[in-house]
Amino acid sequence: MFLFLLTAVPIAYLLLLSFGGQTNQPAAITLVPFVKGALLFLPVIVLLLILEQIVPEQFNPGRLYLRYALLRMAVPFLIAAAGALLVVRGGLKNDFAGGTTAVLSFMSGYYSVLGIFDTVANIGETDAYILFMLPTLRLVIIALVPFVLIDALRAYGFARVAAFLAAAAVPFALAAVPWLYRLGFLGGAVGLSAALVVIAAAVYLRFMVTRLPVSG
DSSP line for 89-107: TGGGGG-HHHHHHHHHHHH
Length of the chain: 216
Residue 211 near residue 92 (C-beta atoms within 8 A): no
pLDDT band at 100 (very low <50, low <70, confident <90, very high): confident
Find, among 31, 42, 6, the residue nearest to 101 by Cα: 31
**58 — alpha (psi -120 to 50), left (phi > 0) or beta?**
beta
Over the stretch 175-200, which tens digit does the pLDDT of each residue have?
Answer: 999 999 999 999 999 999 999 999 99
pTM: 0.89
Average pLDDT for residues 71-78, to the nearest whole number?
91
> Among the listed ranges 67-71, 108-112, 149-153, which one has the minimum average pLDDT value?
149-153
Find, among 135, 138, 133, the residue nearest to 179 by Cα: 133
Residue 26 near residue 155 (C-beta atoms within 8 A): no
Over the stretch 40-59, which tens digit does the pLDDT of each residue have?
Answer: 988 888 888 888 888 777 77
Q: CB under 8 Å to 44, separation ≥6 — which residues?
A: 76, 79
Residue 77 near residue 170 (C-beta atoms within 8 A): yes
Residue 106 near residue 84 (C-beta atoms within 8 A): yes
